[in-house]
Chains A and B, each alone.
Chain A
Amino acid sequence: DQQVKQNSPSLSVQEGRISILNCDYTNSMFDYFLWYKKYPAEGPTFLISISSIKDKNEDGRFTVFLNKSAKHLSLHIVPSQPGDSAVYFCAASARETSGSRLTFGEGTQLTVNP
């Protein structure tokens, strides 16, 4: 039972343009959402998070949007840079009941072309 889904296994964008990565979830108990970036042969690196009481969180070039009614979140990267090429994982937790236990999506490979 996949509670967090990233339906696009890959995304290719031109340098300087916007990258939009999407994520859907099914568990209404999730109240904290995170995005991680992963390079080959390295561990996932935390990028940005959002609590369920917000609908937007911004950090530099990265913005996460949360639509609770649709159980959908997205990560916007603008402008995209070649160094952003990596696998991006969406993750969610139900902090009230499960603490920091993360449920991950299957990842989206982002390729930013120069």
Chain B
Amino acid sequence: DTAVSQTPKYLVTQMGNDKSIKCEQNLGHDTMYWYKQDSKKFLKIMFSYNNKELIINETVPNRFSPKSPDKAHLNLHINSLELGDSAVYFCASSRRGSEAFFGQGTRLTVV
């Protein structure tokens, strides 16, 4: 049973398109996150939701919009994709104050 699962694993799309990445966790955690790993391999937080409420919103273009329909799901929608959006996006979840569990990542390639 996968604890944090995200789909798709790979996503290749053209500039200007809109795409979504889905994430689900079955750990019963209250907090979910989106992290981005760029070409330099840095892992940086983008968003955090606690019980469906947005609590962290880093300096991310507003083309990126997270949506949490319930506390087990946190989806990431990206509008008007740009070449610089190419990266690996990781979903994660945790209990507050404890270690985060990560999904396998979604490698997004914008061409």
Q: Interface size (A, Cβ < 8 Å)? A: 22
The residues of B that contact A34 with a CB separation of less than 8 Å are 99
Would you call B103 and A101 a contact (CB within 8 A)?
no
Would you call A99 and B41 a contact (CB within 8 A)?
no
1/0 per residue A73-103: CB within 8 Å of B? Answer: 0000000000000010100000100111111
Q: Which of A32, A103, A104 contacts B97 (CB 8 A)?
A: A32
The residues of A that contact B43 with a CB separation of less than 8 Å are 44, 89, 102, 104
Label chain B's interface by main secondary structure: strand
Asked if B96 is an interface residue, CB under 8 A from chain A, the answer is yes
The residues of B that contact A107 with a CB separation of less than 8 Å are 41
Report the interface size class on chain B: 20 to 34
Label chain A's interface by main secondary structure: mixed
Would you call B44 and A104 a contact (CB within 8 A)?
yes
Q: Look across to chain B and name the residue whose beta carbon is closest to the beta carbon of A49.
A: B99
The residues of B that contact A45 with a CB separation of less than 8 Å are 102
The residues of A that contact B95 with a CB separation of less than 8 Å are 100
The residues of A that contact B87 with a CB separation of less than 8 Å are none
Give me the interface of B with A, judged by CB distance under 8 Å.
4, 31, 33, 35, 40-45, 48, 50, 55-56, 90, 92, 94-105
Give me the interface of A with B, judged by CB distance under 8 Å.
32, 34, 36, 41-46, 49, 87, 89, 95, 98-104, 106-107
